[in-house]
Structure 1
Amino acid sequence: MQKEQLAEHLRRYHRGAENAVISRELECTFHVSGKELRDQVNALRREGVPIASDQNGYFYAKTEAEVRLTIRHMRNRISGISAAITGLRRSLAAFDDTQIRLPLEGGDDS
């Protein structure tokens, strides 16, 4: 599937939140995996194509409010992931092997 085909399909058939489509339907339509679909949606969004999503699925945004709600949802996910990372960092104390560890900015565990 080319991402342009996905964008056109959403624009034509799933414009606005009221016409959202679940990812499974898009996966079947385009014969792709869930990961491939998410990667294509992400690529389109990075290019500025207004692919929005909510609890009902993906859709081509019809209004500014739909884009803003999608951005808010994505920011909430970032916050949740950040909190999980913080908790995992705290859990590292259980693995302390008495070596001195210096935090390095930009390293694998930063």
Structure 2
Amino acid sequence: MTKGVVEWPLVLDEAKRLADERGDAFDPAVFDNLSDVIAHASADTPAPLVGLGYWPTIQLSWPSLSLEVFEDRIEVYPASPPGVTCVWYEPHAVGQPFSDAFRRDLSMVLSV
């Protein structure tokens, strides 16, 4: 289930609403990590599509990048050529800085 693009101030509330509708038990750290992504990305990045992941996770999507927010990491899915899937993990603990690689891939959203 994916919601349309929402404004950054509404992303966390929309993610929690979708999680409540799904009914799965979400680890609170998922929403804490989502808050960290919002704090980092909202100043320079357009607001994303907000959806639910396969697991009890939250997805943020742009045309050139998707993120899946877990309790202990962010899965990063940069745009790839057809037939190629690129994914990498950004280990993340709440309140810790993001890596240069994560910031670089997030900046791809601005280049579209």
> Which structure has more helix as a fraction of its residues?
1
Tell me if both proteins adopt one fold, taking TM over 0.5 as the criterion: no
With the length of structure 2 as denominator, give the TM-score of the two structures.
0.25
Q: Which has the higher strand share?
A: 2
Scaled by the length of structure 1, what TM-score is found? 0.25
